[in-house]
Structure 1
Amino acid sequence: MRKIFLAISISALIAACTIDRSEFPSLEVGQDFTDSNVRVLVLDSFTVKLSTFKFDSINTSSSERLLVGSYKDEYFGEVKSAAFFELTRSTTESTTNIYDLPEDAELDSIALILGYDRYFYNDTTSVSQINVHLIQEDVEPEDDIFYNTSTLKFDSVPLTTRNYFPEPFDEDSLHISIPFEFGRNIFDLLQGNDINDTDELREVLKGFSLQPGSLDNGAVIGFSRGSENTYLRFFYSVPEEFEDDEQSFDLVINPFPEFPIAFNSITSMIDSTDLEGLIDQEIEISSTESDNLAYIQSGTGYAVKVEFPSIKDIFDVPGSGTLLKATLRIKPLRTSYNDFTTLRDSLVVSFLDRNNLAGAQLENSNGRVFGRLIGENEEFLDVTYEIPVDRYIDFKLNEIREGDDALVLFLNEFNSTINRVVLQGEENRDFKASLELTYAIYDDE
C-alpha cells in the first residue's frame, strides 16, 4: 500500500540547478534592446499534459478533525465520511483515581457533545443524520496509522440517532442524547471502582463510530477532536441537605495517545464516472480521455499529475539562452463550483516520481510554491490558477538524463477535508492549460 510521503531527492537536484544569471549580460538603465544582442522571448506553445490518479491511502489519524456526512457529487459520485474514535477519562483533574465518583452520586443524563470546528462542505441547509454506533474492536491500527481506507467493526444497530440542521457557525456544538440505561451501566461500573484505567474502560466501551444517514445528501461536517470541545458527558447529582448539587465528568479523545485512537474513513462511490478505473495509484487517466478535465479531491486521494513533454523544444531556438520565468496556468471548470462546493484559493505543488509517489513541495526563492487563484471577479466567475514553475522547468532543461518525474497538484488539508476542484485540461475549448516561458537569448551568432 502506497502512502503520501515527503522526500527531498528531487528538490536537492533542483536546488543545484537554480538559475545562474551571473553570466547573463545585464542592461544598463535606459539602454535599448537594439543596442545589445539580447532577445527576450515569451513562448507559450509547449504541451501541458494533465492526468488524474488516486493515492492508495491517506493518513487521516493525524487529523485534528472528525468528519461526518454524505452528499452526492456530479464528478465524484457519493462522497461519504464516517468518524471512529476511542474515549478515555480526562487527565486534567487531579484525583488519585481518575475515574473516582462519589458513592452517593446519582446519574441524571448522558450526552455526546460534538464541538463544531467551522469546517463544512456542500449544503448545510439540508437535514443531516448522525448514527452513533458502538465499536466492537480495539481502536488500534495494524501499522501504527489509520487511513482514509481504514474501518473497524461496529454494531449494525446504532446506539442512538440524531437528525439535525448543521450550524457550524451559529452554534458551538451538537448535543446528542445517549440512552440512559447505557450510560448508567458505565456510570455504575465507574462508581463501584470496577473501571479504574483506560484498559478496563475499553472492555466496556471501545469507542464510537459516527456514521451518516444512508440517504443523506447534504453536507460533510467537521467536528473538533479537542477534549475541551468534544466529549461524552455524564451529568450527575450529589444529594445535599437542602438541594442536589449537579455535577458532571467527561470521557474525551486522548490528545496525547501512544498510538492513533481516532480517524476518518472517507470514500467516494465513483461508478459510471470518468474516475471509475482509478483503482491503483500507478493508474492514471489523461484529461484528453476524461472530457478534457482533471480532478482533485482531498480525503479520497484524487490528485492531478502535470507533465511538460515538449519542454526541450526550446532548444530549437537558435543561440544560447537563459530561462527568466515559467508560469503554468490552469483554469477551474466554471460549472463545477458554487456556494456549496466552493473554490479553494490555492493548490499545493509537489514533486512526483515515476510510480506516482509524492515528494517534497516545490520551492523557489520566495519559499514554497502554491498555485494561486488569479482573477478580478470576487465571485470567481473568471479565474485561473497561476503556478510559478521556474525552478522545475530549469531543472528539466538542465537534467543530464531525462527522468520520468512530474509535478502533482492537490489541495491543502488533504487528509482532513473533502474539498475538491475540477480543472480544465490541455485541449479544453474554453481555456487550455498552458505553460508560458520568458526566455532570454544572448548569443545567437
Structure 2
Amino acid sequence: MNKNYILVFLMIVMAACNTDVGNFQIGEDLVETKSRIVMIDSFSVKLSTVLLDSIATYSADPALVGKYENETIGTTELRHYFNFDLSETSGSLTDKDILDSVTIKLSYSGYYYGDTTQVQKLQIHQLTKELAFFKNDVGQTSLVNHNSFDYETEPIGSLEFYPFPSTDSIEIRLDDSFGQELIDLFLAKSDDVSTNDKFNSYLKGFIMKAAPESKAVIGFNTSSSGIQLKLYTHRVELEKVEIEYDFELASEGTHFNQSLADRTGTDYASLFSQREELPATQTSNLSYIQGSEAVVTRIDFPALNEIYTYGDRVLIKAELVLVPSTLNDPKKLPTALNFYTSDRINQLRENLAITSSSGTSVSVAANLVEDVMYPENNYYIADISTWMQTELANNFYDTNNGLLITFPFSSLRNSSDLLILNGENSSKYKPKLNLYFLKYE
C-alpha cells in the first residue's frame, strides 16, 4: 500500500477516534491485516533552561510583593510599582477637614507562594521619577518585569503582619505629613491637583516591596478598588463627622510587577541571555519554569531525523512525557503547561495549538497526571502529533527548531510560581518521547 495513502487514511480515522492510543483501533476490513501499530520510546529528549529577555507586566493583577529562597534556583523578589488618579470626591475637602490618617489599602487576591507562616514586612516608598510607560525601538509602550524607577530611600509607611491571603485586606499607614500635604494642596486649589495628568506628575507614584527577611510572595487585587490611597478626616459640627476620600489606581494601567533574581552560587548563575540556554546536563539534570521572572524550559529532539531509518512505517502519534522533580511541592504543581514554537535563538513564537472539531483553535497542553499516594510518580503528558507531523512533512527535521514549555501566559506574567523538571540524564524519572507508528510489511 502506498505510504501517502496510508497516512491520509490514518489522519481521517484518528480524527474520528479517541486520541488515547490505548483506545485506537483499526478495523480489519479497512487496513491490511499485516499492518500493526508499534511504539518506540527511545528517541532522546533534551531539556534546557531559558531566560526570556522580558515579559510585559503592566496592568498586573494581582500585584505581587515579597521574596522567597530556593536552594536550586536562588532568591526571587517581587516588587510592585503603582500610582493613583484624583479622588472623585477630593474637591469637596474644606478647611473644616481635620486629618486622621492616610493609608494604602491592599485587598488580598488569594495568591501566595512561599511560607506564609512567617511574619511579613511591607514597605512603601515614594517614587522620585514619574511612573509612566517606556517606549521600545518600534514605538510600542510597555512596562516589563525588569523595569525600575528611582525612589526615596526612607519608606513613607510600613507594616509587619502575618499574611492571611484568604481574608479580606490590610492597610499600611503613611506619614501624617504626607496626608496633610495633600489636604493643603486641595484647599489651596493648587494646579498640581487640577487634572489627573498634573496630579500624576506631582504624586509620581509608589513602590511596594518586602523586607529582606520575608519568606513569601503575596498577591493583592488591582481590580475593583483592590488597591486604594485612602485619606481619612473628620469635621466637628453638631457632632463628629468622619469622612473618607478614596484615590483609585491610575486608569492608564501603569501599575506593574518588577522581578529580581539572585542566582549566585546556583547552577543557573550564568543564566543571563535569551540566546543562550542552559542544558539540563549542566544544571544537575534539572530545568525549570518560573512566573514573573520569565524563565521557561526548552525542549529539543536531536535524534528525530533517525525516524527516516524506518522505511517500513508511518508516524501516527507523538506523545511527550515530562516529569516534575521531587524538589517541587506536590501540592503546588500546575495542572497544565503550554507550548510555544521556537528557533535557535529561543524566540517565543506561535502558541502550539490544534483545530477542534468545532473549528476553534485549542492550545496544546501538557496535562498533569497525579499520583496522590506516590508523588514521585507524577508526570505531564502532551499529544504533539500535529506539530511533529508538520515538522517532518518534508522528510527532514530542522534541529534548530524546538519547543518552549511554560505556564499559561497569564500565570507566566502574573505569578511567581516555580516548577522544576527532571532532565534527560536523571537516574530514574526522565522525559521521554513516545512515537507511535503504523508498521506495514
TM range (shorter): 0.7 to 0.9
Alignment of 1:4-403 (within 5 A): 20-21=8-9, 29=27, 36-90=33-87, 99-143=91-135, 144-169=141-166, 171-194=167-190, 195-216=193-214, 218-241=215-238, 243-254=239-250, 256-257=251-252, 260-319=253-312, 321-337=313-329, 342-366=332-356, 367-377=362-372, 380-399=375-394, 402-403=397-398
Q: TM-score, normalised by structure 2?
A: 0.87
Unaligned runs of 5+ in 1: 1-18
Give 1:382 deviation, angstroms: 2.1
Give 1:180 deviation, angstroms: 1.5
AA aligned opposite 1:89: L
| Alpha-carbon spacing, 1:158–1:281, altered in 2? closer, same or farther (3 Å) | same
| Alpha-carbon spacing, 1:24–1:102, altered in 2? closer, same or farther (3 Å) | closer
Answer whether contact 2:323 2:380 (CA < 8 A) is retained.
yes
1:400-441 alpha-carbon deviations (Å, 9 max, x no partner) = 664322100111210111101110111211212100011112
AA aligned opposite 1:331: V
| Alpha-carbon spacing, 1:28–1:407, altered in 2? closer, same or farther (3 Å) | closer
Answer whether contact 2:56 2:143 (CA < 8 A) is retained.
yes
| Alpha-carbon spacing, 1:428–1:381, altered in 2? closer, same or farther (3 Å) | closer
More helix by share: 2
Answer whether contact 2:288 2:419 (CA < 8 A) is retained.
yes
Name the counterpart of 2:17: none
Answer whether contact 1:124 1:167 (CA < 8 A) is retained.
yes
- Root mean square deviation, CA, Å: 2.3
Give 1:21 deviation, angstroms: 2.9
Alpha-carbon separation, structure 2, partners of 1:411 and 1:304: 10
Give 1:112 deviation, angstroms: 0.8
Unaligned runs of 5+ in 2: 1-6, 15-24, 136-140, 357-361
1:334 match: secondary structure: coil
| Alpha-carbon spacing, 1:227–1:110, altered in 2? closer, same or farther (3 Å) | farther
Name the counterpart of 1:406: 402
AA aligned opposite 1:433: P
Answer whether contact 1:334 1:382 (CA < 8 A) is retained.
no
Give 1:103 deviation, angstroms: 4.1
Answer whether contact 2:158 2:174 (CA < 8 A) is retained.
no
Answer whether contact 1:346 1:372 (CA < 8 A) is retained.
yes
User: Number of paired residues?
Assistant: 410
1:360 match: secondary structure: coil
Percent identity, please.
Answer: 25
Give 1:396 deviation, angstroms: 2.0
Answer whether contact 1:89 1:99 (CA < 8 A) is retained.
no
2:333 match: secondary structure: coil
| Alpha-carbon spacing, 1:297–1:400, altered in 2? closer, same or farther (3 Å) | same
1:276-326 alpha-carbon deviations (Å, 9 max, x no partner) = 11111111111112111111111112111111121222222232x432221
Give 1:330 deviation, angstroms: 1.1
AA aligned opposite 2:353: E
Alpha-carbon separation, structure 2, partners of 1:185 and 1:156: 20
Alpha-carbon separation, structure 1, partners of 2:46 and 2:212: 38
Name the counterpart of 1:439: 437
AA aligned opposite 2:417: N
